[in-house]
Amino acid sequence: MRMLIANPNSTAALTTACVGLAREAAAPATEVTGWTNDAGPRVVDGLYADYLAGAALVRGLLALRPVPEAVVLAGFGNYGTGAVKEVLDVPVVSMAEAAMALATLLCHRFAIVTTATRMIPYTEDLVRLAGLEGRCAGVRAVPLPPIDQPPPSAEAVVEMLAAEVDRAERELGADLVILGGARLSPYATGLRPRVRLPVVEPVACAVHCAEGLVRLGLRQSKAGRFARPPGLPV
């Protein structure tokens, strides 16, 4: 199966990292290809970047030939997820939605750790739109430096994440944590041995969900919310 990992921002290094995580998670028969949103912003760090990213993403994916058999949106946000589901006829899975969906099977209440304090309300809106407020213990942030600056050492990031996960357990009553940003996904492996809570890495979740939808012959409903828009060029 040909699966596209679409990075909603233009930072190719993140695409590479996500494709790596996707390949580890994918079934052997899944052929994973990366796609970088070259016309999008370098990082989705707010609502402005979300719209710039989403518009470029949906245009880019609509034009893509050949059409992949499934699309994974490899950013922890909105950036036009519904729009992509509307314009494509193949299954489209956002890593945020997939992570939250699988988390509902595993816990009482999950926490999400995001990459900047300013992304907390943005992420809370994602949870609200998914209708999962009742399952979310809260959203916390581990501030990372701007994407064009060198990140802290992996050890330092893992340390900060571990501290935040512990706080989420103690202060919010969370019993599972979702890494809420593509930039955080690569730290999942390092983080797991450090914390008591299960750590959900969203790229892998989305890859697996997308494989499942293809296998089961399911995709976003075209009979309602995601029906092809009337004005869409054929």
- Of residues 89, 128, 156, 163, which one binds a second copy by CB under 8 A? 128
Residue nearer to a second copy on the CB measure, 4 or 102: 102
- Of residues 8, 34, 54, 186, which one binds a second copy by CB under 8 A? 54
Q: Comparing C-alpha atoms, which of 105, 150, 149, 99 is closest to residue 127? A: 99
Verify binding: residue 67, a second copy, rule CB under 8 A. no
- Of residues 22, 176, 184, 191, which one binds a second copy by CB under 8 A? 176
- Of residues 90, 107, 111, 162, which one binds a second copy by CB under 8 A? 107
Spatial CB neighbours of 223, under 8 Å, sequence gap ≥ 6: none
Verify binding: residue 164, a second copy, rule CB under 8 A. no
**Alpha-carbon distance values, 26 to 32, 89, 231 (Å):** 8, 21, 35
Q: At its nearest, how many Å lie between a second copy and the CB of residue 137?
A: 10
Q: At its nearest, how many Å lie between a second copy and the CB of residue 207?
A: 9
Amino acid identity of 26?
A
**Alpha-carbon distance values, 36 to 65, 111, 154, 177 (Å):** 15, 28, 24, 27
Number of Cβ within 10 Å of residue 145's Cβ equals 11
Verify binding: residue 64, a second copy, rule CB under 8 A. no
Verify binding: residue 230, a second copy, rule CB under 8 A. yes
- Of residues 70, 71, 87, 90, which one binds a second copy by CB under 8 A? 87
CB burial of residue 32 (10 Å; 0-12, 13-18, 19+): buried
Verify binding: residue 83, a second copy, rule CB under 8 A. yes
Amino acid identity of 84?
V
Q: At its nearest, how many Å lie between a second copy and the CB of residue 177?
A: 10
